[in-house]
Amino acid sequence: MATQKDLDHITKDDALDMLRRMIRIRRFEEKLSVLFKRGKLPGFVHLYTGEEAIAVGACSALRDDDRITSTHRGHGHLIAKGALVNRMMAELFGRVDGYCRGKGGSMHIVSFELGIIGTNGIVGGGIPIGTGSAWADSHLGRDNVTIVFFGDGASNQGVFFESMNIASVWKLPVIFVCENNGYTEWTPTAELTAGNIVDRSAPMGIPGEAVDGNDVVAMRLAVERAVSRARAGDGPTLIEAQSYRWNGHNEGEEAFAGAYRPDAEQAEWRERDPIVAFGERLVSAGWMTRDEWDAVDADELGSVDAAVEFAEQSPFPDADEALLHLFAGDSEGVR
Amino acid sequence: MNAQSTTTDRSIYFIEAMREGLRGMLTEDENVVVIGEDVGRSVIGATRGLVDDFGPMRVRNTPISEATFVGMCVGAAAVGLRPVVDLMVGSFFYVAMDQLADQAAKLRYMSGGQVTLPIVYFTASGPSGSAAAQHSENPHPMLMNVAGLKIVMPSTPYDAKGLMVSAVRDNNPVVYFQDFVLGGTRGVVPEELYSIPLGVGDIKRHGTDVTVVAIGAAVPKALRVAEVMEKEGVSVEVVDPRTLVPMDYDLILESVTRTGKLVVVDNARLTCSAASEIVATITERGFDLLTSAPQRVAWADVPVPFSPPLEERVVISDSDIVSAIRAVLA
């Protein structure tokens, strides 16, 4: 656990913004869980509850023009990078005001304007893509960096090793952030994964750092160190953030998954709620009162409710839009 | 743009024509980069010597990590590069299939058109004589089924250069197949830069009795057969689509309107081949134009074997094309 002294490294404004974004993610995901149970959402969703500190800590170390690639569990990364909950919710409802005009859905919400190069339904799929944006930025002489978010499951995909290798030999400004939430889908990660994921960087000649993924400040400081190296042309970093997925792999899994996680384990991690931990530090530091904290929470709850209203009022796209957007320069779409 | 240049009758190899196209694009746009395994040295030849003129950052050797460098081009193209990838051998697409089919082909569509991905993936492909099963594939049929990839497959050095220019200038992922056996064929190619639009086919030989649509390395075979059949009094028209996605169906239909007979020759396995798709589409759109059942000429549905007589048994031959023409004329 990081010390209170870590707060010396961030400003009060930054800290309050980070807490707000973590709360926004939590309330957004909780709302989706309810909407899913009520049958309001087409398709299915993978929720980020419990892991908020990773996305928010990491993205708070980035500039607006830096980039990320994300995963099937991507809502948290999007919100942390500045995505609007209204447009995210509209996308989840398949509506025309969604970021992708309803073509992407939960696993493919992207906003290129915000530097989100892609979210991904394929485990590990975004790792080469983010390595590639880092390559382009480096080749073109820019100093942008890319964070590649991926899970413990993706750490066993070939592209993870391949991408670390090429990022190392080409010294690319990419930060590999592995979110180890303990479970590869429904199987304990330890049963499927040799050694420690963070140790996989050393043979590639890449610095590796294990971080408490429930500590948003520790996460931010680790990513700041990696960003400094990347911007200075010193190449990639691997960060393994240990955390826990409060919800299942996907909502609705109780229909088939069974009780695969011990109750005590779940309770223990909920005790370590990253939002409560950070909020209490801010209160102790005198940067926020409990009333102000409650007000932020109420505000974010309200904006999530408003996002649902926005999404429900947004029309579905015209059905013929299904034939658009395949190729650039083809305004008439597919025949 | 389709007309042959009158300023030169210079004849060069197909592979040199590809290289001239690449050289022209590297010169025209500094955001164009060429990557791949040993692209500096260039086993097949399309990139040979380019590193001397453009340097090792713009003509860059990659590790043998096809999935990753195919995918890296997606991120790179999204933020401003125009990557051109030498995959070297057609089968290597299979190694990179997720990044090609799920990422490169889908990202623009999934994002509602937010991103533009100007990428060229080119490769030598097809049987070349005892290269065996994993170095003889022509995977264009399955890639035609992946929406989001444009596909070109030139048959002449002239088309090879003009289509390379268009492929690199296009703002979409384009897969460019160079049939292995065409690499060493020669033809007239203007020295200046020119482009051939994607989606526009070419009638390689005019005829009146039967339309033979031929793709890639099947084109010179069909032309050779046409010469032979001319002596028998059969006038064969050879149509080269040049681009498989988008496909110039109008040109094929127009030809079938005149001949009423259709043979499609594809240098690939029969099942779900480009030939299958062309025959199906022309049958749907032009059933009344056809005066006999169309025929497909393609490989037997097995991997391409190593031993020369076995390979010959599997891949398309001139006599297969002759038989198909006779069948539609019967």
Q: Do A327 and B71 touch (CB under 8 A)?
A: no
User: Per-residue pLDDT averaged across A102-107, rounded?
Assistant: 96
Q: Per-domain residue ranges for chain B?
A: 11-188, 202-329
Q: Do B112 and A99 touch (CB under 8 A)?
A: yes
ipTM of the complex, rounded to two decimals: 0.96
Contact A112, B111 (CB under 8 A): yes
Q: Of B58, B114, B198, B285, which to mutate for an interface test with A (greatest number of A Cβ within 10 Å)?
A: B114
Q: What percent of chain B has pLDDT over 90?
A: 97
Question: What integer best gives the mean pLDDT of chain B?
Answer: 96
B75 to chain A, closest Cα gap in Å: 4
Residue A9, chain B, CB below 8 Å: the answer is no
Q: How many whole angstroms separate alpha carbon A80 and alpha carbon A55? A: 6
Distance of CA A238 to the CA centre of its chain: 16
Say if residue B154 is preceded by a cis peptide, omega within 30 of 0: no
Partners of A118 on chain B (C-beta within 8 Å) are 74-75, 78, 103, 107, 111
pLDDT recorded at residue A235: 98
Q: Do B112 and A159 touch (CB under 8 A)?
A: no
Structure tokens of B121? 């993936």
A154 to chain B, closest Cα gap in Å: 14
Per-residue confidence band for A7, with pLDDT thresholds at 50, 70 and 90: confident
Q: For domain A4-309, which CATH number applies: 3.40.50.10540, 3.40.50.1220, 3.40.50.2300, 3.40.50.970?
A: 3.40.50.970
Per-residue confidence band for B270, with pLDDT thresholds at 50, 70 and 90: very high
User: Per-residue pLDDT averaged across A237-246, rounded?
Assistant: 98
Question: What integer best gives the mean pLDDT of chain A?
Answer: 96
Q: How many CA atoms lie within 13 A of A332 on its CB side?
A: 1
CB nearest to A100's CB, from B63, B111, B172: B111
What phi and psi values does residue A132 have, to the nearest 5 degrees?
Answer: -70, -40
Buried b vs exposed e over B166-180: b needs ≥16 C-beta within 10 Å?
bbbbbbbbbbbbbbb
DSSP B251-302: HHHHHHHHH--EEEEEEEESTT-HHHHHHHHHHHHHGGG-SS--EEEEE-SS
* Shared fold status for B11-188 and B202-329: yes
Per-residue confidence band for A332, with pLDDT thresholds at 50, 70 and 90: low
Please list, in sequence order, all residues whose beta carbon lies within 8 angstroms of the beta carbon of residue B219, skipping any fewer than 6 positions away: B155, B156, B204, B238, B240
pTM comes to: 0.96
Q: Of B35, B111, B115, B170, which to mutate for an interface test with A (greatest number of A Cβ within 10 Å)?
A: B111
pLDDT recorded at residue B108: 97
Partners of A120 on chain B (C-beta within 8 Å) are 103
Minimum mean pLDDT among B6-15, B199-208, B217-226, B295-304: which range? Answer: B6-15
What phi and psi values does residue A65 have, to the nearest 5 degrees?
Answer: -90, 5
User: Per-residue pLDDT averaged across A148-172, rounded?
Assistant: 98
pLDDT recorded at residue B1: 46
Lookup result for tokens 């690939």: B268
Q: How many whole angstroms separate alpha carbon B199 and alpha carbon B201? A: 6
Q: Do A104 and B110 touch (CB under 8 A)?
A: yes
Lookup result for tokens 């400040």: A217
Q: How many whole angstroms separate alpha carbon A29 and alpha carbon A323? A: 31
Structure tokens of A35? 């909407």
Task: Give the single-character DSSP code of A262.
Answer: -
Q: Residue B171 is which amino acid?
A: N
Residue A106, chain B, CB below 8 Å: the answer is no
Q: Do B71 and A129 touch (CB under 8 A)?
A: yes
Question: What are the residues facing B232 on neighbouring strands?
Answer: none
Q: Residue B247 is which amino acid?
A: M
Per-residue confidence band for A6, with pLDDT thresholds at 50, 70 and 90: confident
Residue A141, chain B, CB below 8 Å: the answer is no
The two beta strands, B173-179 and B202-205, are: unpaired
Q: How many whole angstroms separate alpha carbon B300 and alpha carbon B316? A: 9
Least CA distance to B173: which residue of chain A? A327
Return the closest-CA partner of residue B100 out of B122, B130, B133, B126: B122
Q: Do A103 and B114 touch (CB under 8 A)?
A: no
Structure tokens of B298? 């393609």
User: At B83, which helix (H) or strand (E)?
Assistant: strand B82-89
Partners of A131 on chain B (C-beta within 8 Å) are 68, 71-72, 75
Least CA distance to B100: which residue of chain A? A125
pLDDT at B5 over 60: no
Q: Residue B265 is which amino acid?
A: V
Return the closest-CA partner of residue A53 out of A85, A6, A98: A6
Partners of B171 on chain A (C-beta within 8 Å) are 328-329
pLDDT at A126 over 50: yes
Torsion sign over Cα A61, A66, A68, A74: positive
Q: For domain B202-329, which CATH number applies: 3.10.180.10, 3.90.380.10, 3.40.50.920, 3.30.450.80?
A: 3.40.50.920
pLDDT at A96 over 80: yes
Q: Of B68, B82, B92, which to mutate for an interface test with A (greatest number of A Cβ within 10 Å)?
A: B68
Question: What are the residues facing A237 on neighbouring strands?
Answer: A175
Task: Give the single-character DSSP code of B304.
Answer: P
What CATH number is given for B11-188 in this structure? 3.40.50.970
Partners of A68 on chain B (C-beta within 8 Å) are none
Annotated active-site residue in B23, B135, B140, B296? B135
Q: Is B206 annotated as catalytic?
A: no
pLDDT at A1 over 50: no
Q: Per-domain residue ranges for chain A?
A: 4-309
Measured from the Cβ of residue B312, the count of other Cβ atoms closer than 10 Å reads 12
Most distant CA pair in chain A, distance:
63
Q: Do B72 and A334 touch (CB under 8 A)?
A: no
Contact A181, A245 (CB under 8 A): yes
Q: Do A139 and B150 touch (CB under 8 A)?
A: no
Per-residue confidence band for A4, with pLDDT thresholds at 50, 70 and 90: low
Least CA distance to B74: which residue of chain A? A129
pLDDT tens track for A284-313:
999 999 999 999 999 999 999 999 999 999
Q: Residue A6 is which amino acid?
A: D
Q: How many whole angstroms separate alpha carbon A302 and alpha carbon A23? A: 12
Torsion sign over Cα B123, B129, B132, B136: positive
Return the closest-CA partner of residue A14 out of A77, A60, A83, A67: A60
Lookup result for tokens 């169906």: B249
Q: How many whole angstroms separate alpha carbon B98 and alpha carbon B29? A: 29
A263 to chain B, closest Cα gap in Å: 37
pLDDT tens track for A46-94:
999 999 999 999 999 999 999 999 999 999 999 999 999 999 999 999 9
User: Per-residue pLDDT averaged across B262-271, rounded?
Assistant: 98
What phi and psi values does residue A148 have, to the nearest 5 degrees?
Answer: -100, 110
Q: Do A103 and B111 touch (CB under 8 A)?
A: yes
Q: Do A100 and B114 touch (CB under 8 A)?
A: yes
Enumerate the H helices of chain A as residue ranges: 12-37, 52-59, 75-80, 85-92, 126-139, 158-169, 189-192, 216-231, 263-271, 274-284, 290-313
SS3 category, B213: strand
Partners of A129 on chain B (C-beta within 8 Å) are 71-72, 74-75, 78, 99, 103, 107
Structure tokens of A229? 């190296």
Per-residue confidence band for A8, with pLDDT thresholds at 50, 70 and 90: confident
pLDDT recorded at residue A335: 54
Please list, in sequence order, all residues whose beta carbon lies within 8 angstroms of the beta carbon of residue B200, skipping any fewer than 6 positions away: B2, B242, B243, B248, B251
